[in-house]
Structure 1
């Protein structure tokens, strides 16, 4: 039962007041609330209920919580707390709030210097809305000192992009799981709103279940699901056989797309490669990814909003919450699920200044998409033995361990370890405290069944994405059906009339010879720098390796023909290094393929490394490949092979420690040793260090250190492929 103020019987007057706030928020005196918007606002303000709103991008979900905030503040309620996953979303929401006179502040990883003043303003009652990132919920100081006060005094809690709560959601985030605990601790009568644009029925049910109040039932949660049709979008697929044809299509047809937009790529490397090519063809574009520096991100986002660039060539880092009037979205490579795809295409078609026909949405799939999906799938929750090793290391230590101190003891990368610890924290097996993590001593069980269900769900989503490419069904219907849109499920004859399958969009597959030739030349251009490691991983002495700090004599900047994720030679490298289930070793061995050999020669002709001798890294699984590479390079460059970075202990597997820097250094230190044909073979010489592939870079780093210790003047790595 609500503990809020008595509800006025004059519903019409309440809605009229709500619409006055809406008009101020959007700057339009004619604006009116949708019935579902008012239903949600009324449930929050008058009934103090918990509600889940699943509505398409651009429907006006933020209007619900901002209008509800204004009404609740008029009744004397505390500030609204919005948990929001992306900084772009926060920036846009604060700007919108200020238009309606809402005083909003944010606490996130980029404004540490403002935290104290923000908390002081909240305590003084000077803030209407506080936006926090989900990561703040797991910060010990915020969790233990600030969050309890907010939970006790807030007037409304909002969980934006609520599909992130669910294991089944396409963008699950461990930090969001802590929200379940926060919801359980809220005092009775504080309303809660969860919103998302991308939730199928399974995710909707999961999130609604997590919204249930202590002692309450699912019926107490108001769930409002609307149509997910995006009437402003025209969807289409263009099938082209080669990477150069797909790039050429972009070059020839980008200018035809309405307004400004986004070209999505699956990898960071592709954003840079594609942006570089399109600029060479005269297009105003820029690359954007999670690696883009924060101030540059802001400038690029504004340039896109202002139409100063035709497109940002972006990864999914430019995703949820980016609010702009965009005329198109092109995907160069397919996302791994229709739900994720619907999320991305929702960036387009949101403005009021679109052409009458609406925004265009084009998908250019590639055969290598599945390889990239498989890579990201491999980063799922770690195997049970790795989790047990982590818990054992914490228990053995008996106190607080930082992530950096724990990392050398577990064969996981820093990011995967941090993610795993967050999950274990929510599960109660560990606790994040000031200075790091500590074991709680609580029993923990590995939920293999749950992880298997999620993995199966991901596999089904990937299959559905492949079906989307080939379907002759209305494309918007297909996406809405994947999201369990009730309107489409109830009407088997519904068609959008706008997509390429409905006849509302015609996409040419023609590409000019000049564009294809230039794209082919761009993709065939070999050569990617191999940047040397400069610092040893932290914590090595703790695992018996006496290395620390700055690397005294690092390798020089080397070269690889290409990255495995590249659009050009990357395809040949992916095939070369692919897993082969029919082989006893799991790989296929043989000479260097002709195309990669020619690319190596072209790269060397351009690079011209100044070297005197060669040392070759032995390979247990691909000895023929490395031997052929070394023989060809020796003959072409006229260099003698004077030694090997040899396998000294085959009992240490070639992939041991591949996901963790400290573990990798320890493994390579035991596995490999320098074997020279003569004691002075490299003294004073510049050494070309030849290997088939760089994955972590630590084998090259340790080989370079050994060669420098043997008297080498310089060490220059050269490989076929560079992972990542």
Structure 2
């Protein structure tokens, strides 16, 4: 058969498979779809497809898989970042007659069956997370054989490969090593809807790993990113109360069902609660939501059984509901790229969908927190490298040695692993003994790019030009032209009015007070390494009871006032009458087993006026004797939030004394300004219990996290 005849044959087979996939006999390829399929199937090339959400990127890899399998190729490995995305991809594969299975954190009980299916060649597509590729057992026992049989490697949401991308994940960088291990005849496809030129170049370079022409040999197919179905708008309101009141007034005016994004877990939970209380059928969806509940919520939204999911970015990449009617944001993402990625969930198969941004004054603070949390720190990295040797050390044990909390420690280990300085093995982590140099210049460039992206987001909010054109140009799409639909092109399409009763309801909801503080019940493992002679469970007679905080720092309501109170550089001052009254409300609603008989304050280095006035105020209003503050035996020791449990405990162990106080034989209210790890309150409660208190009830203004 001639080359041209083979190409015609491939196109006919590909088109038939596409029509089976979408269930329409009249469907044709979008521009670029067949070109990508042809490059993979006939050319066995490496390709990067950058196309808007809804263009049909999944069709490219499912159709390519079917054609390659008919030629005798092995299974496709699809690296996919989110469980929600995996569920949608498996459902789409079934429609195309593609046998797809997944290996992820939620189906460990099925892994044996999946591996047996692979051995019998009964799997067309294996979906794995990037983290699974570095699981020691998978990496050493299954991956080598899989690489030799691999028919196609697909990297979905490929912008995650690039640390210039808005959603960088260190494990994605490891794919470069995987690509170099593969036979050069195995085609590779990377797909994304959100990549500017810098990210495209970075991803293409890594796709070309091991090839003589590196990134130059990667076929990049990039289409226009305009979404004609989206009607964009920005509504600036002065505060959280007004934004929630607008939702109460106008949620039912929005067409169909949709997603309301928030920047924090607390905001998602609080917003969902308020809307439900006023008759709106919504659910919260965050990274802390149970996996089964998340799956149920996705199904309910797809079936239009609920009006909206109130979600963090945990509901993002790949969630597929073609008729999603709207996407709202309570608070802006940190870049136009991230924003485009999320609003791309809407209007994928409909003529119209509404996208509205309601930015918040607190957005910059939240952006700064997440930006600084994601980059490795030189001092922390060196502490980890100095602690690791040839013998595996588990993450919990390492945490106790280096004073880094679990989540940032795991992120740092992944970065060091990708850089080749450490390696994950059975039993923990080891040093590779390879030299490692902190690339300060690179991280400074990335940090500067993050700041620039944040400024672009502010400019998007404030522009008087076309909003879709702005997003396209930010993504380096040179086809950008005015959309004719957004609020700047066609006029404001959304109401700005707020009903009085809705404003009152929102204000009342945000004025809620009282967050439980769970008591510590066990000493952290490894405390003896720092000469703290404590281990196992904390004896009941030395524990605190459940405490209360006025609010979390991340809360929509009192969280704002508390963030101002504890902002860097804020002066120490007595508590305001308004905040003291709110604290009294917390105590009035506290269902304690026995009313406290006295008040004791924590000794404060940073805010002695605030803590003392709070303790005295609660004492006077509650008609309880104020006994004073505990003695601080190390008043000049370093303190503040951060660090892991072992080091936090070590910093307060044996530090406080109640010898100068007359502690009554009853419950004591222990007052402090804020709680983070809770080890300060735990150590102080132990001292008070040993001094004779029958119970200790911690109370703080702010709960971090």
> Which of residues 639, 647, 666 in structure 1 aligns to 2:624?
639
**Following superposition of structure 1 onto structure 2, how do residues 408-427 of structure 1 map, counting pairs within 5 Å?**
408-427=400-419
Verify: 1:486 aligned to 2:483, yes or no. no
Verify: 1:572 aligned to 2:561, yes or no. yes
Q: Deviations over 1:452-472 (max 9, x none)?
A: 111111111111111111110
| Counterpart position of 1:391 | 385
| Cα distance, 1:137 vs structure 2 | 1.1
**Following superposition of structure 1 onto structure 2, how do residues 77-88 of structure 1 map, counting pairs within 5 Å?**
77-88=73-84
Whether contact under 8 Å (1:382, 1:420) holds in the other structure is: yes
> Which of residues 521, 531, 534 in structure 2 aligns to 1:544?
531
Number of residue equivalences: 699
Q: Deviations over 1:460-512 (max 9, x none)?
A: 11111111111101011111111111212xxxxx2101110111651111000
Verify: 1:556 aligned to 2:545, yes or no. yes
Verify: 1:317 aligned to 2:306, yes or no. no
| Counterpart position of 1:583 | none
Verify: 1:369 aligned to 2:363, yes or no. yes
Distance in structure 2 (CA, Å) of the matches to 1:705 and 1:378: 35
| 82-91 or 140-149: bigger deviation | 140-149
| 370-379 or 430-439: bigger deviation | 370-379
| Cα distance, 1:623 vs structure 2 | 0.9
Verify: 1:711 aligned to 2:705, yes or no. no
Whether contact under 8 Å (1:497, 1:504) holds in the other structure is: no
Secondary structure at the counterpart of residue 682 of structure 1: coil
| Counterpart position of 1:71 | 67
Secondary structure at the counterpart of residue 438 of structure 1: strand
Distance in structure 1 (CA, Å) of the matches to 2:623 and 2:577: 20
Distance 1:377 1:645, change over 3 A: farther
> Which of residues 653, 668, 677 in structure 2 aligns to 1:669?
653
Verify: 1:607 aligned to 2:596, yes or no. no
| Counterpart position of 1:126 | 122
| Counterpart position of 1:33 | 29
Verify: 1:589 aligned to 2:572, yes or no. yes
Distance 1:534 1:30, change over 3 A: farther
| Counterpart position of 1:283 | 280
Distance in structure 1 (CA, Å) of the matches to 2:64 and 2:302: 28
Secondary structure at the counterpart of residue 479 of structure 2: helix
| Counterpart position of 2:633 | 648
Whether contact under 8 Å (1:25, 1:96) holds in the other structure is: yes
| Cα distance, 1:525 vs structure 2 | 2.0
| Counterpart position of 1:453 | 445
Secondary structure at the counterpart of residue 550 of structure 2: strand
Secondary structure at the counterpart of residue 205 of structure 2: helix
Whether contact under 8 Å (2:658, 2:688) holds in the other structure is: no
Secondary structure at the counterpart of residue 35 of structure 1: coil
> Which of residues 643, 662, 667 in structure 2 aligns to 1:686?
667
Secondary structure at the counterpart of residue 254 of structure 1: helix
| Cα distance, 1:709 vs structure 2 | 2.1
**Consecutive unaligned residues in structure 2, runs of 5 or more:** none
After TM superposition, the score normalised by the length of structure 2 is 0.97
> Which of residues 423, 426, 431 in structure 2 aligns to 1:434?
426
Whether contact under 8 Å (2:597, 2:664) holds in the other structure is: no
| Counterpart position of 1:326 | 324
| 622-631 or 74-83: bigger deviation | 622-631
Secondary structure at the counterpart of residue 642 of structure 1: strand
Distance in structure 2 (CA, Å) of the matches to 1:612 and 1:377: 45
Verify: 1:702 aligned to 2:671, yes or no. no
Distance in structure 2 (CA, Å) of the matches to 1:487 and 1:611: 68
> Which of residues 257, 267, 278 in structure 2 aligns to 1:260?
257
Whether contact under 8 Å (2:49, 2:221) holds in the other structure is: yes
Whether contact under 8 Å (2:206, 2:215) holds in the other structure is: no
Distance in structure 1 (CA, Å) of the matches to 2:448 and 2:65: 40
Whether contact under 8 Å (2:658, 2:691) holds in the other structure is: no
Verify: 1:464 aligned to 2:447, yes or no. no
| Counterpart position of 2:348 | 350
| Cα distance, 1:10 vs structure 2 | 4.0
Whether contact under 8 Å (1:233, 1:349) holds in the other structure is: yes
Whether contact under 8 Å (1:613, 1:641) holds in the other structure is: yes
| Cα distance, 1:7 vs structure 2 | 5.1
Distance in structure 2 (CA, Å) of the matches to 1:640 and 1:168: 57
Secondary structure at the counterpart of residue 424 of structure 2: strand
| Counterpart position of 1:380 | 374
> Which of residues 497, 501, 504 in structure 1 aligns to 2:484?
497
Distance in structure 2 (CA, Å) of the matches to 1:307 and 1:421: 41
> Which of residues 508, 511, 515 in structure 1 aligns to 2:495?
508
| Counterpart position of 1:400 | 392
Distance in structure 2 (CA, Å) of the matches to 1:13 and 1:108: 37
| Counterpart position of 2:507 | 520
Verify: 1:232 aligned to 2:226, yes or no. no
| Counterpart position of 2:519 | 532
Secondary structure at the counterpart of residue 157 of structure 1: strand
Secondary structure at the counterpart of residue 21 of structure 2: helix
| Counterpart position of 1:584 | none
Whether contact under 8 Å (2:326, 2:354) holds in the other structure is: yes
Whether contact under 8 Å (2:598, 2:664) holds in the other structure is: no
Q: Deviations over 1:511-544 (max 9, x none)?
A: 0000001111111122111122233222212222
Distance in structure 1 (CA, Å) of the matches to 2:626 and 2:577: 22
Verify: 1:200 aligned to 2:189, yes or no. no
Distance in structure 1 (CA, Å) of the matches to 2:521 and 2:298: 33
| Counterpart position of 1:491 | none
Verify: 1:243 aligned to 2:248, yes or no. no
Q: Deviations over 1:127-182 (max 9, x none)?
A: 11100000111101111221111111111000000000001010000111110100
Q: Deviations over 1:227-269 (max 9, x none)?
A: 1111111110111112211101001110011110011111111
Secondary structure at the counterpart of residue 374 of structure 2: coil
Secondary structure at the counterpart of residue 373 of structure 2: coil
| Cα distance, 1:707 vs structure 2 | 1.7
Whether contact under 8 Å (1:235, 1:505) holds in the other structure is: no
Distance in structure 2 (CA, Å) of the matches to 1:86 and 1:622: 43
Whether contact under 8 Å (1:642, 1:676) holds in the other structure is: no
Distance in structure 2 (CA, Å) of the matches to 1:405 and 1:696: 18
Whether contact under 8 Å (2:30, 2:55) holds in the other structure is: no
Secondary structure at the counterpart of residue 430 of structure 2: strand
